[in-house]
DNA sequence: AGAATTAAGTCAATATGACTGACGTAAATT
DNA sequence: AATTTACGTCAGTCATATTGACTTAATTCT
């Protein structure tokens, strides 16, 4: 395993296909769009989730707990099934995380009024406080990111993000985002 | 475990602190910024990484492989140490993923010319092709997300994303993003 | 020339968050 | 009465990350 032969490094030579044509218009066609946006999005998202991660680490919670807490906070009384649908994870994955949140007194389960099979999810006071703290961290970062940008930028960013989402999913997500209260009953 | 008592659900009642004042200006102060941007970003990023994930799954690779491939593609001849710095992961985490990429003929290691301890990283032809395919998927999604937005929106989004990143890290990332070639030598 | 540092890799153990598939129970619906 | 739904659970697996310690080889510092 130690006697692998490494070739000596070559000084990086542009690949044939990467050699730019002298006609700028021709390059635009293939390369018009921003390699750099890919990387900015990567780093931006990392820092965006980093703020909550730091707070949650003190509770020995991770990002999975944050997602659950967030959507329960935003959709009080949500059914387990609907939460699974939003997060696109399996019952088993949710199970462990949810149990820990309930045990920690962050989330509360209540029997459905009409349907006693349901265990509707609510944040406790403590959970509500934590959820707010985390949301504020992320809102502050979003505010900072919009500083100095021209009027209307927030709406542009909103539209941009919405159009990043698979078209089929947009309507559902729009509804989810606006609705203060559960999706079905 | 089965004999837990669930309280009956309460119909969700707004919390005291959440009851909106009749003065809209007062609400703006606390709640000015978009809860919905948080969620849009969550769903947008999920779909954004979903495209490459699907392709990579055919190779039995995951997102970790994508990140490594991407930054090697963009920084040919990068040192392992520098790659660790970019990804902010440990040597051990990188180790396994990198080995799999090398074994699969996606990434190539070459001994440094000046420093023979280095195993500089390059994509192979195959790796280059795969990296391009993945980048194009993401670029296409970014293009679609910018459709119908006013002129200058791309620059606004770029600025927004940059400002989402921790200020201390921005300069480094800017340099990384522009530089076609390694950071040090 | 010898000591210290750096680049890279490795071993071992662990944690988190996800997965599949199967099964069970209670309650609601048909 | 039969079927479906909501929820939970058991058992096993996988991918990606972690920490800490240690090794080897090569370079740099004094």
Collapsing DSSP states into helix, strand and coil, what is residue A132?
helix
Q: Where do we find the tokens 């293939």?
A: A30
Confidence at residue A3, expressed as pLDDT on a 0 to 100 scale: 39
Confirm if B145 and B100 have CB atoms less than 8 A apart.
no
**Distance from CA(B4) to C1'(C26), angstroms, rounded:** 14
Q: How large is the average pLDDT for residues A67-95?
A: 96
Does residue A183 surpass a pLDDT of 50? no
Cross-strand partners of B123: B107
DSSP A108: E
| B37/A111 CB distance under 8 A | no
Burial label for A106, CB within 10 Å (0-12, 13-18, 19+), is buried
Q: Smallest CA–CA separation between A47 and chain B, in Å?
A: 6
End-to-end CA distance of chain A: 62
Residue A174 vs residue B178, higher pLDDT? A174
Residue A23 vs residue A71, higher pLDDT? A71
Kindly list the distances between the CA atom of residue B85 and the CA atoms of A142, B70, B79, B96, B176, in Å, as whole numbers in the listed order.
Answer: 25, 14, 10, 17, 11
Per-residue pLDDT of chain B (185 residues; tens, 9 = 90+): 433 446 666 555 555 565 655 554 454 445 556 789 999 999 999 999 999 999 999 999 999 999 999 999 999 999 999 999 999 999 999 999 999 999 999 999 999 999 999 999 999 999 999 999 999 999 999 999 999 999 999 999 999 999 999 999 999 999 998 865 544 43
What are the chain B neighbours of A43 within 8 Å (beta carbons)? 161, 165, 169, 173
Name which of A74, A76, A110 is nearest B8 (Cβ-Cβ): A110
Residue B138: CB atoms within 10 A of its CB come to: 21
pLDDT digits (tens, 9 = 90+) for A84-121: 999 999 999 999 999 999 999 999 999 999 999 999 99
Nucleotide nearest to B78 (CA to C1'): C7
* CA–CA dist A41, B113 (Å, integer): 34
**Distance from CA(A93) to C1'(D13), angstroms, rounded:** 13
CA B165, B169, B171, B176 torsion-angle sign:
negative
Confirm if B73 and B127 have CB atoms less than 8 A apart.
yes
* CA–CA dist B22, B19 (Å, integer): 9
Nucleotide nearest to A95 (CA to C1'): D8
> Between A153-164 and B153-164, two packed helices, what is the crossing angle to 10 degrees?
90
| A38/B70 CB distance under 8 A | yes
Dump the DSSP string for chain B.
Answer: ---PPPEEPPPP---GGGSPPS-HHHHHHHH-S-HHHHHHHHHHHHHHHHHHHHHHHHTT--HHHHHHHHHHHHSTTB-HHHHHHHHT--HHHHHHHHHHHHHTTSEEEEE-SS-TT-EEEEE-HHHHHHHHHHHHHHHHHHHHHHTTPPTTHHHHHHHHHHHHS-HHHHHHHHHHHH-SS-S--
**Distance from CA(B7) to C1'(D9), angstroms, rounded:** 22
Q: How large is the average pLDDT for residues A26-43?
A: 74
Output the CA angle B146-B149-B154, nearest 5 degrees.
Answer: 55
What are the chain B neighbours of A113 within 8 Å (beta carbons)? 8-9, 11
Domains and CATH numbers, chain B: 36-148 (1.10.10.10)
Strand D nucleotides, any atom under 7 Å from protein beta carbons: they are 5-12, 15-21, 24-28
Q: Where do we find the tokens 């970019």?
A: B86
By CA distance, what is B175's nearest residue in A?
Answer: A36
Q: Where do we find the tokens 């985490």?
A: B93
Burial label for A163, CB within 10 Å (0-12, 13-18, 19+), is buried
Q: How confident is the model at residue A19 (pLDDT cuts 50, 70, 90)?
A: low
Strand D reaches within 7 A of the A99 CB: yes
Name which of B8, B113, B156 is nearest A156 (Cβ-Cβ): B156
**63-102 of B, contacting A, C-beta below 8 A:** 67, 70, 74, 76-77, 88
Q: Which helix (H) or strand (E) holds A120?
A: strand A119-123
Phi, psi of A7 (to 5 degrees): -70, 150
Q: Where do we find the tokens 């003065």?
A: B23
Confidence at residue A178, expressed as pLDDT on a 0 to 100 scale: 81
Name which of A10, A165, A181 is nearest B12 (Cβ-Cβ): A181
**Distance from CA(A50) to C1'(D15), angstroms, rounded:** 21
CA dihedral A74, A80, A82, A85 (to 10 degrees): 110
What are the chain A neighbours of B9 within 8 Å (beta carbons)? 77, 110-113, 118, 120
Name which of A46, A149, A160 is nearest B159 (Cβ-Cβ): A149
> Between A63-74 and A80-87, two packed helices, what is the crossing angle to 10 degrees?
120
Confidence at residue B184, expressed as pLDDT on a 0 to 100 scale: 42
Confidence at residue B7, expressed as pLDDT on a 0 to 100 scale: 62
pLDDT more than 70, % of chain A: 78
Q: How large is the average pLDDT for residues A145-160?
A: 97
């Amino acid at each position: 395993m130690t006697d692998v032969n490494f070739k000596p490094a070559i000084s990086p030579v542009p690949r044939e296909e990467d050699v730019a044509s002298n006609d700028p218009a021709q390059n635009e066609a293939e390369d018009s769009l921003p390699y750099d946006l890919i990387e900015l999005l990567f780093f931006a998202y990392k820092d965006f989730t980093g703020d909550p991660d730091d707070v949650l680490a003190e509770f020995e919670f991770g990002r999975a707990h944050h997602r659950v807490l967030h959507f329960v906070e935003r959709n009080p009384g949500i059914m387990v099934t609907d939460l699974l649908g939003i997060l696109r994870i399996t019952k088993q994955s949710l199970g462990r995380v949810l149990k820990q949140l309930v045990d920690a007194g962050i989330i509360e389960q209540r029997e459905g009024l009409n349907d006693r099979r349901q265990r509707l999810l609510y944040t406790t006071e403590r959970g509500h406080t934590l959820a707010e703290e985390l949301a504020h961290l992320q809102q502050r970062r979003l505010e900072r990111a919009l500083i100095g940008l021209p009027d209307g930028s927030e709406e542009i960013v909103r539209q941009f993000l919405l159009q990043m989402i698979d078209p089929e999913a947009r309507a559902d997500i729009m509804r989810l985002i606006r609705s203060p209260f559960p999706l079905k009953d």
